[in-house]
């Protein structure tokens, strides 16, 4: 048995991860005369978790509250001698900077001026980007549940199709006139760039599976032009995604999707085969089961939250093998090639797992810990003149663990120390069915 091992190791330092996917709220505070007010306390409270962050306006009446997760927020401005100002239902998107200009009215703290569902105004940015929201992720249909399919909502972005009868329909995305190797995907600030082989995203160079469970994605942003210098190893498009977190209310969902060959139309070649041999024609086997569940809620109310998800992608496709003996070789006439021919199963199995803990250390700091694992096998690369005995069994195991600490005080934000305990790590094992050779490729 021949064996070859390729191992590339790259340790991820904390500086290689950024506060991508997080937003901020900033603006000014003024009194009825238009004079800017210093010393005003502005508090942004996440509705789902009741966690809050505060800032004090400076001498020019300016304030900023950075590092806010995509969610629904209530904003309160308080100053003695003035009525409290409350703006409810502010939707924070990934990487969004919202401008809020507050005008305080003279009165007592027991009086409140409330603004309901005011439209959020994003501060000017040079980026050309499209946000894919949680509502779109939950409601827009895709046949494969690959969350990258929705990146096509951004102009110029292309995602490869999940074709039933194609053995090379690898699920990659590209942008503009450039290829798949010129993009990068960030999950909670960690890069999933494939630095060893092609495909752009780790594990997607030879896979019809999904890189991350869709029901664990809160939302993401597709940046196609003028992205910031903190993004790396890309020249055409950046996708920066944030994962879901638990809230003060336990909630979950379960789904199962099933498709078989009875729901598929014949392609051009199958119609030709049926016309040529009506009695002997048999439709190739096919089935696909997409299943998943997620659950999230408080372990300690207003303090510690949990979210977990599972998704399975189980497919049985068939490749057609039709080996014919070459003419002029009489000794091959005794070989029964028919036993190698027919519709041979090409199974694909993928399991995606994700878990996350969010802990509010105090009013000024938080701690997040998350882990995800992707395991898949794919028997393929046979058909036509290639027998099933020469099929390749691709195996992938990709794990990513992130530990992140944030500290916030006034206008200062320390979002710096983050560690990937398991950096984007892909172990791909390929082996032929007849065990003639084996190749292991590991990417860290």
> What CATH number is given to the structural domain containing 52?
2.60.40.10
Q: How many domains does the chain have?
A: 2
Instruction: Give per-residue burial for 238-266: e unless 16+ CB within 10 Å, then b.
Output: bbbbbbbbbbbeeeeeeeeeeeeeeeeee
Q: Are residues 112 and 259 in the same domain?
A: no
Q: Tell me the average pLDDT across 287-295.
A: 94
CA distance 424 to 11: 10
Backbone angles phi, psi at 389, to 5 degrees: -65, -15
Q: What is the pLDDT of residue 3?
A: 37
The better pLDDT of the pair 441, 121 is held by: 121
Asked if pLDDT for residue 309 goes beyond 90, the answer is: yes
In a domain, 127, yes or no: no
Structure confidence at residue 2 (pLDDT): 38
Q: Are residues 107 and 254 in the same domain?
A: no
- For 378-420, how does the pLDDT look when each residue is reduced to its tens digit (9 = 90+)? 998 888 888 888 888 888 888 888 888 888 776 676 765 555 5
Other C-beta atoms closer than 10 Å to the C-beta of 109 total 12
Would you state the pLDDT for residue 222? 92
pLDDT (tens digit per residue) in 1-11? 333 333 333 33
Contact (Cβ atoms closer than 8 angstroms) between residue 147 and residue 137: yes
Domain of residue 288 covers 250-443
**Residue-wise pLDDT tens digits, 349-383:** 999 999 999 998 877 788 999 999 999 999 988 88
* Domain shared by 269 and 415, yes or no: yes
In a domain, 187, yes or no: no
DSSP string spanning 41-95? EEEEEETTT--EEEEE--TTSEEEEEEEPSSEEEEEEE-TTB-EEEEEEEEPPTT
Residue 304 included in any domain: yes
The pLDDT, as a whole number, for residue 343 is: 84
> Strand pairing partners for 237?
183
Q: What is the pLDDT of residue 126?
A: 74
Measured distance CA(258)–CA(269) in Å, rounded = 25
Inside any domain, residue 278: yes
Evaluate if residue 70 carries a pLDDT over 70. Answer: yes
Among residues 90, 106, 122, which one ends one of the domains?
Answer: 122
Question: Is pLDDT of 300 > 50?
Answer: yes
- Asked if 20 and 230 count as a contact pair (C-beta separation under 8 A), the reply is yes
The reply to whether 27 falls in a domain is: yes
Of residues 424 and 87, more confidently modeled = 87
* Vertex 430: Cα angle to 426 and 431 (nearest 5): 155
Q: Among 122, 141, 169, give the residue marking a domain's end.
A: 122
Domain end residue (candidates: 73, 93, 122): 122
pLDDT mean across residues, the chain:
80
Question: Are residues 292 and 439 located together in one domain of the fold?
Answer: yes
Per-residue pLDDT for 74 more than 70? yes
Judge whether 379 and 346 are in contact, CB under 8 Å.
Answer: yes
Query: How many other C-beta atoms can be found within 10 angstroms of the C-beta atom of residue 215?
Result: 22
| Residue 176's pLDDT band (cuts 50, 70, 90) | confident
Residue 297 lies in a domain: yes
**Residue 207 maps to a domain:** no
CA distance 129 to 86: 30
Residue 103 resides in a domain: yes
């Amino acid at each position: 048995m021949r064996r070859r091992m390729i191992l590339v190791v790259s340790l991820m330092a904390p500086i290689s991860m950024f506060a991508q996917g997080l937003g901020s709220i900033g603006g000014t505070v003024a009194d009825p005369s238009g004079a800017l007010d210093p010393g005003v306390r502005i508090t942004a409270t996440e509705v789902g978790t009741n966690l809050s962050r505060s800032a004090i306006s400076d001498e020019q009446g300016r304030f900023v509250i950075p590092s806010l997760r995509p969610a629904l927020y209530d904003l309160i401005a308080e100053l003695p001698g003035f009525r409290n100002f409350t703006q409810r239902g502010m939707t924070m998107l990934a990487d969004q900077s919202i401008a809020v200009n507050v005008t305080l009215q003279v009165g007592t703290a027991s009086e409140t001026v409330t603004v309901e569902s005011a439209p959020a105004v994003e501060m000017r940015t040079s980026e050309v980007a499209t946000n894919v929201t949680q509502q779109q992720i939950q409601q827009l249909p895709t046949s494969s549940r690959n969350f990258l399919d929705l990146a096509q909502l951004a102009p110029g972005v292309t995602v490869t199709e999940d074709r039933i009868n194609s053995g090379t329909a690898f699920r990659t995305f590209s942008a503009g006139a450039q290829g798949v190797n010129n993009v990068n995907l960030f999950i909670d600030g960690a890069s999933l760039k494939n630095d060893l082989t092609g495909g752009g995203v780790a594990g997607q160079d030879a896979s019809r599976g999904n890189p991350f469970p869709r029901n664990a994605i809160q939302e993401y942003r597709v940046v196609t032009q003028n992205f910031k210098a903190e993004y790396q190893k890309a020249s055409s498009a950046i996708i920066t995604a944030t994962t879901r977190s638990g809230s003060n209310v336990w909630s979950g969902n379960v789904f199962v999707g099933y498709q078989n060959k009875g729901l598929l139309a014949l392609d051009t070649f199958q119609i030709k085969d049926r016309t040529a041999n009506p009695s002997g024609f048999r439709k190739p086997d096919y089935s696909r089961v997409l299943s998943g569940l997620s659950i999230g809620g408080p372990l300690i109310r207003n303090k510690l939250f949990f979210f977990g998800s599972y998704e399975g992608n189980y497919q049985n496709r068939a490749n057609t093998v039709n080996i014919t003996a070459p003419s002029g070789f009489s000794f091959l006439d005794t070989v029964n090639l028919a036993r190698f021919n027919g519709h041979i199963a090409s199974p694909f199995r993928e399991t995606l797992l994700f878990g996350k803990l969010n802990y509010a250390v105090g009013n000024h700091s938080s701690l997040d810990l998350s882990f995800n694992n992707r395991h898949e096998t794919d028997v393929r690369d046979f058909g036509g003149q290639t027998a099933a005995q020469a099929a390749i069994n691709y195996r992938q195991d990709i794990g990513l663990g992130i530990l992140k600490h944030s500290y916030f005080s006034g206008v200062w934000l320390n979002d710096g120390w983050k560690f990937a305990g398991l950096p984007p790590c892909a172990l791909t094992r390929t082996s032929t069915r007849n065990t003639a050779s084996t190749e292991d490729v590991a990417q860290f």
